[in-house]
A = this chain, B = another copy of it.
Amino acid sequence: MPETRPYQHHYLKAACANCSVLELCLPIGLTSHEVERLDTLIIQRVKVKKGAALYRAGDPLRSLYAVRIGSFKTSMLSVDGREQVTGFQIPGEMLGLDAISDDRHTCSAFALEDSEVCPFNFAQLEKLALELPSLQHNMNKILSREIVREHNLLMMMGNMNSDERLAAFLLNLSQRLSIRGYSSRNFVLKMRREEIGSYLGLRLETICRGIAHLRDSELVEISGRNVKVLNLDGLKQLVAGCHREPPL
């Protein structure tokens, strides 16, 4: 990711009401009148070029972002400059939730492809949430859902071997894409092997070997970054009947 300049401002007039990811984003369950009020927070949508940072660790929290088009990775840097990928975000998913803790982003967010986000000014969002109970409730749920996501990640890190983690990763991505109306059986990995590895706590070579194993067992067909799921149940079984010891 050599592109380091701040994100580009391509101003677009926003309109939650006719946004295609409306039902996956902050406004879930809001009345059309409430959505209109939320709309007023989004000054403009923002385009982020592939490889560019939407924000960086240490930046003050200005806005939360909903991914509208494209995809992102969020990552932290360790003291000695190693990257830990903490998540991949696709349309309808939120970015920046970790920053509320300390009014400062703890992760950086990079676009994995040319992308577009809706920024919600956080101060205004909190203010509006005081007036719209369902918005407040949504925010709580979205924050809590992120906690649950990370619990599952921890579970994976603690109890799954490399092949199982990879299978779980593909399955999770497949399911999230399917919710967004994309194919759950054919999709493209926008991230590098190294980034998948970092996310799963593995080296990139281990990811390559895992892919080879899944291919050998005819669960998926992966060539380059193109994924075709051949045996969804098989994948699920691999993830479910997982863990380092057999059940006694």
Contact = CB atoms under 8 A, between A and B. Distances in A.
Given A84-B155, A127-B133, 8 more contacts: A82-B243, A84-B158, A86-B151, A86-B154, A99-B144, A101-B148, A147-B147, A150-B151
A59 to B, nearest CB: 15
A225 interface: no
A247 B245 CA distance: 35
Contact of A147 (B82, B101, B157): B101
Interface in A219-248: 240-243, 245-247
Contact of A136 (B99, B126, B157, B246): B126
12 contacts: A76-B155, A80-B241, A80-B242, A86-B154, A100-B140, A101-B148, A106-B148, A106-B151, A126-B136, A126-B140, A136-B136, A153-B154
Interface residues of A, number: 49
A178 interface: no
Residue of A139, A153, A158, A240 ringed by the most chain B CB atoms within 10 A? A158
Contact of A158 (B98, B141, B148, B198): B198
A108 B232 CA distance: 30
Tallying the copies of this chain within the complex gives 2
A177 interface: no
Given A136-B136, A150-B150, A157-B158, A145 B242 contact: no
By Cβ-Cβ distance, the 8 closest A-B pairs, closest first, are A100-B144, A150-B150, A101-B144, A80-B247, A143-B143, A158-B201, A157-B157, A101-B145
Interface in A75-131: 76, 78-82, 84, 86, 97-102, 106-107, 126-127, 129-130
Given A126-B137, A130-B130, A154-B157, A147 B97 contact: yes
A36 interface: no
Contacts of A218: none
A86 B143 CA distance: 17
Given A99-B144, A158-B198, A201-B158, A79 B241 contact: yes
A146 interface: yes
A183 interface: no
A143 to B, nearest CB: 4
B159 A82 contact: yes
Residue of A79, A82, A102, A147 ringed by the most chain B CB atoms within 10 A? A147
Given A100-B143, A140-B139, A245 B82 contact: yes
